[in-house]
Amino acid sequence: MEIITQDGWLEVITGCMFSGKTEELVRRLRRAVIARKETIAIKPALDTRYDLVAVVSHSGFSFNAIPVEDPKSILNMAKDAEVVGIDEAQFFTGELVPVIRELLQSKKRVIVAGLDLDFRGEPFGIMPTLLALADEVTKLHAICSVCGNIATKTQRLINGKPARYDDPTILVGGLETYEARCNLHHEVPGKTLTLFKE
């Protein structure tokens, strides 16, 4: 569904790794350009995996983007934009939330993509807040690399073995790999089951 609104509108695209979040973000941004909407894309500066100045999906779809360290700087960058795309939102600090609220008050369409869960299977950074604030949520799924069923979790492997619960959430430049996994095959050694905490 394509959104046509005169008011601020927040779309959140989420799911595990390899579910096509960035590809869907790029698709929506390209359609906004075709609709002659002033469109920009933002990415966290620490995301240097495929390109320094583009959001790039694992399958190679890309859209030019501005790397950002301080979320507050987005307000100035986006002042003339009608559509603002933000990739890898889970890596931004909580300062992104009031920035997005201000963009929405300025009647902009904001499209955010990010992991809903970290490798432990727990809510990732600011994503729970963005999901709660969203006008529209698209949750994508991947294929489990073990059994081929629907995957909703991201498995981190270090030297071919599942990362432990107490390993750092963000490991920049580490010798790690990731796989999409279903609930049955997602492994987090050292994780204990706890009751929901408020």
Contact 114, 129 (CB under 8 A): no
The CA distance from 63 to 113, in Å, is 13
- The strand order across the sheet containing 83-86 reads 66-68, 39-44, 83-86, 109-115, 9-15, 136-140
Q: Which of 23, 24, 88, 179 is catalytic?
A: 88
With contact defined as beta carbons under 8 Å apart, do 142 and 18 qualify? yes
Count how many residues are written for the chain: 198
Phi, psi of 34 (to 5 degrees): -60, -35
Rounded distance between C-alpha atoms, residue 77 and residue 106, angstroms: 13
Active-site residue flag, 24: no
The catalytic residue positions are 88
